[in-house]
Structure 1
């Protein structure tokens, strides 16, 4: 796990960066150069450049709406951009699942796609980047009981597509994953689904960029208390050796998501992750245990 702390190295904050990325994608989707878009807005090119890089200190909603009109965005996308423009810049910010961003604009997926490393602790379920389609389908069917089969299949397809960041040939994201033994023994979809899921984890863990370690029951509570799931998101560095985005900690719960950027929060989460990692089984014993539990599921079929 990368140990450098770049959380204060970049001056922009998460809502601003996400807005900038969103507007840049919209401009490129409209086939406009930065120079042309700035001219249509009667701006200097540097003004639009700073906005797209998330460096504008004060974002005016009317300016964002003007860009949306220039780019020909529909009402759904305009609503997402407007919501991002209205977010208060802060090192940590909270958005409820009921928030319009959650429904129209997936902040986490955008961040995940730009990372160079993800350190994941999961005590409840298999992380999305390691899930099989059957495992993901079972979870989504229970969590979204009112959705049609077509809608559920789109969700599963998105989950599988996201995994490309770790399995692509060129510069795949490095994954360091700590799973509690409870993740392996909590049955999702029945023994057949679980056996296939665990073997899938073993297969992925043989890749050079993916490390999966199991925290066994006998390890107890290495931090002295129960720890909820969290992900440390580290981003690549530019040609000058500076992170293109500050490190972010993402924590998920039933009521909402929290994104932490403050250096103290990031540092503490890194320390917690190191403590958990030190208490896990090594790579090969972890794979051996996962295979053993998979065989137990085979015997239950």
Structure 2
């Protein structure tokens, strides 16, 4: 069955199944025989082009042959059920932060791992992928003031895992920032000084671009659009199809993921406008360092 709605859950499930199959040292043809399906159907399942069967027999069979833990099995079954539900919602997906089950998966972690390119525009907060641990901790304490320390540490570590993608030269990152995001204080002067230095340092990597839209820029579209990220993906490994790009809009109570072409195209147009008004990379680094000196002196 080919789904027409949101693709995120089934794409995440497909990559997870492929990862487990390889860990079990099983060929795709052999896995297909286990399920009694064709290798082509198995390829489409792993590429996230098909929705799992309406019952859990297939997923349980795969988990048995892959030798996964009970915890991992519960996560796979939950992901398969979510793939079936999200396939019906028409190409947009709202994910509330609250009331998520313990075996839930994080769409953003999957997307960052799978993407070949990330383009982000942020107005107040810096994108997680370029946040220092202390900056992230300060934001988390404000967002979840009663969060247990161990859970807070887990959240920070998950962000750190996503940031490791910056070490992959095939992963391209373009960050467009309002000057307000550079000036907003989180965690105190020393935290922000370290954060600003990190922005300049990371911006020198060949696969990372950081540019600032200064306050003096008048009437630019970024003030109306709000913060968002555009994720673009490589060809699928088996079918060689092109995956849909996804726009991620992070809100206070949850995350919105957009996949319809008309919606994504509007955000792409906004990115083009922001690129037009942003400072160059070198001028942006100079602006960030000047702001850092201004706050430290």
Which range, TM-score by smaller chain? 0.7 to 0.9
Distance 1:12 1:217, change over 3 A: closer
Supply the distance in 1 between the matched residues of 2:135 and 2:237 (Cα, whole angstroms): 40
Q: Of residues 20, 23, 34 in structure 2, which corresponds to 1:26?
A: 20
SS of match in other structure, 2:36: coil
Instruction: Please name the residue that 2:212 is paired with.
Output: 214
SS of match in other structure, 1:87: helix
* Residues 61, 85 of structure 1: 8 Å contact kept: no
> How many residue pairs get matched?
287
1:81-120 pair list within 5 angstroms: 81-89=79-87, 90-98=90-98, 100=100, 104-120=104-120
* Residues 179, 215 of structure 2: 8 Å contact kept: yes
1:141-184 per-residue CA deviation (whole Å, 9 max, x = no partner) reads 3333333333322322222221121223xx34111111111111
Distance 1:26 1:73, change over 3 A: farther
Distance 1:106 1:229, change over 3 A: same
TM-score (normalizing by structure 1): 0.84
Higher relative contact order (CA 8 A, sep 6+): 1
Unaligned 5+ segments in structure 2 are none
Unaligned 5+ segments in structure 1 are 1-9
Q: CA deviation at 1:130?
A: 0.9
Instruction: Please name the residue that 1:67 is paired with.
Output: 62
Instruction: Please name the residue that 1:4 is paired with.
Output: none
Distance 1:172 1:138, change over 3 A: farther
* Residues 258, 264 of structure 2: 8 Å contact kept: yes
TM-score (normalizing by structure 2): 0.85
RMSD of the alignment, in Å?
2.7
* Residues 250, 260 of structure 1: 8 Å contact kept: yes
Instruction: Please name the residue that 1:270 is paired with.
Output: 268
* Residues 115, 233 of structure 1: 8 Å contact kept: yes
1:7-52 per-residue CA deviation (whole Å, 9 max, x = no partner) reads xxx9993332222122222333444333333333333333322211
Instruction: Please name the residue that 1:154 is paired with.
Output: 154
Q: Of residues 178, 186, 189 in structure 2, which corresponds to 1:188?
A: 186
